[in-house]
């Protein structure tokens, strides 16, 4: 498989003129995925940032077929599109779903689970910006510990969100899915390689991409990419794949950069005390110990 | 410049002018995003080594690589500054937008 780089990536844009905030990581993930998948792609998007910024009547930012689905049914609608294409004998197409973290890990979980169970020919993207950003920053199942959101406020008694991120990648892998991967917009070559890989998978693929949100994370817009990279470098996010029933860790850093440096850059973590940062580190170390033990051959 | 262009959109006058379904055809841009910008990225072509990093990381895809030089579509650039921040040779400057500038 040829490596995709900035040089050989097509110049043609299939997701253009959208109204996402400046520096939006999620729109970059969708943009690059659409470029790699090409114009014979049918996109299904639930309520969420990416549908809200591209389907503003009479504006339409997708240059391919795209549809807004009910919030809970990204997986079901994408599966229906795939079934329709098959019934009509339309070949060489992709049916993809682009959902946010809430639309994947909370509201759309059963539809996704059903699609994976049936082995539908779809590629499902979870654009994880770690909260419901479109509606004004509410906590989702993928919001990390210590995050200040409007529904998990930080104060004298609470550090913001009190739960760790839901283990979405392993929930999906537990279905024995054909292909699943985690990625970050800080490691774009890795992300593009995974999208390219998903194109030739028989059955369902799932790509979970971490995408910073300057508005919800309380950061300046220009650091989106470097922050997404730092999330991986400090160990709070990981790059992994699941195929043929095996987990594989794509990046196994010898040393992590300090979690403190990562969280102090962001308004949503500004209130964190040293003890709470320690808690984040302890959870990270526990997770990595398990991943290294089980996923590294 | 090889980037999607605005369409000439007239507000519907009668109910017959509305499209069938909930959205317009794909690739239907009726307004630009230039007004969002406080700072404008300007490429110093002397310093640019054409690594295409800015083209890759732009969330809005406004950097066109089809020509001899990299070109920015200022109609849709929001001025987020990701390109300048990621540019290794520091060939992109963020210049304050000004009415008389």
pLDDT of residue B100: 62
In this complex, is the C-beta atom of B65 within 8 Å of any C-beta atom belonging to chain A?
Answer: yes
Domain containing residue A269: 25-295
In this complex, is the C-beta atom of B86 within 8 Å of any C-beta atom belonging to chain A?
Answer: yes
Q: Say if residues B93 and B81 touch (Cβ distance below 8 Å).
A: no
The whole-chain average pLDDT of chain A stands at 96
pLDDT of residue B71: 96
Pairing of strands A41-45, A94-100: parallel
Q: Which of A6, A27, A62 sits opposite B52 (nearest CB)?
A: A6
Q: Give the burial string for A228-250 (b: 16+ CB within 10 Å, else e).
A: bbbbbbbbbbbbbbbbeeebebb
**Cβ contacts (< 8 Å) between A224 and chain B: which residues?**
59, 80, 82
pLDDT of residue B22: 67
Q: What string of DSSP letters covers A103-145? A: IIIITTHHHHHHHHHHT-S-EEEEEE-SSBTTTT-B--TTPPT
CA distance A70 to chain B (A): 13
Return d(Cα A188, Cα A5) in angstroms, integer: 9
Residue A6 within a domain: no
DSSP for residue A223: G
Q: What is the mean pLDDT of residues A31-39?
A: 97
Residue A11 within a domain: no
A23–B59 CB contact, under 8 Å: yes
B26–A62 CB contact, under 8 Å: yes
State the pLDDT confidence band at A31, using cuts at 50, 70 and 90. Answer: very high
Q: Note the ipTM here.
A: 0.94
A124-160 pLDDT per residue, tens:
999 999 999 999 999 999 999 999 999 999 999 999 9
Q: What is the mean pLDDT of residues A5-31?
A: 96
Q: Which residue has the tokens 């993207």?
A: A125
CB proximity list for A265: less than 8 A, separation 6 or greater: A219, A223, A227, A230
State the pLDDT confidence band at A17, using cuts at 50, 70 and 90. Answer: very high
Domain B33-96 grouped into CATH 3.40.720.10: no
B80–A66 CB contact, under 8 Å: no
A45-91 pLDDT per residue, tens:
999 999 999 998 888 999 999 999 999 999 999 999 999 999 999 99
Q: What CATH number is associated with residue A52?
A: 3.40.50.970
DSSP for residue B24: -
Residue A190 within a domain: yes
DSSP for residue A150: S
Query: What is the number of domains present in chain A?
Result: 1
- Model pTM above 0.90: yes
The domain spans of chain B are 33-96
Q: Say if residues A25 and A224 touch (Cβ distance below 8 Å).
A: yes
pLDDT of residue B19: 75
A82-132 pLDDT per residue, tens:
999 999 999 999 999 999 999 999 999 999 999 999 999 999 999 999 999
Return d(Cα A91, Cα A42) in angstroms, integer: 12
Angle separating helix axes A25-37 and A188-199, nearest 10 degrees:
40
Q: Which of A22, A60, A188 sits opposite B25 (nearest CB)?
A: A60
The closest of A288, A295, A292, A205 to A248, measured between CA atoms, is A295
In chain A, beta strands by DSSP E:
41-45, 65-68, 94-100, 123-128, 179-184, 205-210, 240-243, 246-249
Return d(Cα A181, Cα B100) in angstroms, integer: 50
pLDDT of residue B78: 97
For A66, A117, A186, the CA distances from A110, given in Å and listed in that order, are 22, 10, 29
CA distance A213 to chain B (A): 12
Q: What is the mean pLDDT of residues A182-192?
A: 97
Pairing of strands A123-128, A94-100: parallel
**Cβ contacts (< 8 Å) between B32 and chain A: which residues?**
17
B31-41 pLDDT per residue, tens:
999 999 999 99
A222: helix, coil or strand?
A: helix
Q: Which residue has the tokens 């109910």?
A: B15
Return d(Cα A167, Cα A291) in angstroms, integer: 12
B26–A6 CB contact, under 8 Å: no
State the pLDDT confidence band at A213, using cuts at 50, 70 and 90. Answer: very high
Length of chain B: 101
**Cβ contacts (< 8 Å) between A58 and chain B: which residues?**
9, 19, 24, 28, 30
B14-55 pLDDT per residue, tens:
988 877 776 777 888 999 999 999 999 999 999 999 999 999
Q: Say if residues A45 and A98 touch (Cβ distance below 8 Å).
A: yes
The closest of A287, A70, A105 to A208, measured between CA atoms, is A105
pLDDT of residue B99: 74
pLDDT of residue A113: 98
Q: Which of A31, A65, A223 sits opposite B59 (nearest CB)?
A: A31
A20–B26 CB contact, under 8 Å: no
**Cβ contacts (< 8 Å) between B65 and chain A: which residues?**
11
A251: left (phi over 0), alpha (psi -120 to 50) or beta: beta
Q: What is the mean pLDDT of residues A222-241?
A: 98
In this complex, is the C-beta atom of B51 within 8 Å of any C-beta atom belonging to chain A?
Answer: yes
Q: What is the mean pLDDT of residues A21-26?
A: 96
CA distance B101 to chain A (A): 23
CB proximity list for A115: less than 8 A, separation 6 or greater: A75, A76, A78, A79, A122, A124, A204
Nearest C-alpha in A relative to B36: A22
Sheet holding A246-249, edge to edge: A65-68, A41-45, A94-100, A123-128, A205-210, A179-184, A240-243, A246-249
pLDDT of residue A10: 96
In this complex, is the C-beta atom of B36 within 8 Å of any C-beta atom belonging to chain A?
Answer: yes
């Amino acid at each position: 498989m040829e490596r995709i780089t900035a040089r050989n990536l097509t110049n043609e844009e299939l997701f253009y003129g959208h109204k996402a905030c400046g520096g939006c990581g999620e729109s970059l993930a969708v943009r690059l995925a659409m470029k790699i998948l090409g114009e014979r792609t049918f996109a299904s998007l639930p309520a969420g940032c990416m549908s809200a910024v591209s389907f503003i009547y009479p504006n339409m930012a997708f240059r391919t077929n795209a549809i807004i689905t009910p919030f809970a049914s990204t997986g079901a609608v994408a599966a229906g599109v795939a079934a329709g294409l098959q019934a009509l004998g339309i070949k060489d197409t992709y049916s993809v779903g682009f959902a946010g973290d809430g639309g994947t890990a909370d509201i759309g979980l059963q539809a996704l689970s059903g699609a994976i169970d049936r082995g539908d020919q779809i590629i499902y993207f979870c654009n994880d910006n770690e909260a419901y950003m479109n509606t004004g920053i509410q906590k989702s199942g993928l919001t990390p510990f210590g995050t200040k959101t409007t529904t998990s406020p930080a104060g004298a008694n609470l550090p913001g969100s009190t739960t760790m991120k839901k283990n979405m990648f392993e929930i999906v892998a537990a279905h024995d899915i054909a292909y699943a991967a985690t990625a970050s917009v800080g490691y774009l070559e890795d992300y593009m390689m995974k999208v390219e890989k998903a194109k030739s998978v028989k059955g369902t693929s799932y790509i979970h991409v971490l995408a910073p949100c300057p508005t919800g994370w309380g950061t300046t817009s220009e650091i989106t990419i470097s922050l997404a990279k730092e999330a991986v470098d400090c160990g709070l996010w990981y790059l992994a794949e699941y195929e043929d029933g095996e987990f594989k860790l794509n990046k196994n850093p010898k040393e992590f950069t300090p979690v403190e440096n990562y969280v102090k850059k962001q308004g949503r973590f500004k209130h964190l005390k040293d003890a709470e940062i320690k808690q984040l580190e302890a959870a990270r170390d526990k997770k990595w110990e398990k991943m290294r033990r089980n996923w590294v051959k | 410049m090889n980037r999607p262009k605005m369409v000439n959109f007239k507000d519907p006058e009668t109910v017959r002018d509305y499209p069938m379904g909930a959205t317009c055809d794909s690739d239907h841009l009726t307004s630009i995003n230039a007004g969002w910008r406080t700072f404008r990225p300007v490429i110093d072509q002397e310093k640019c080594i054409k690594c295409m990093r800015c083209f890759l990381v732009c969330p809005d895809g406004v950097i066109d690589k089809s020509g001899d030089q990299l070109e920015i579509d200022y109609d849709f650039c929001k001025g987020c500054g990701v390109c300048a921040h990621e540019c290794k040779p520091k060939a992109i400057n963020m210049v304050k937008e000004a009415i008389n500038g």
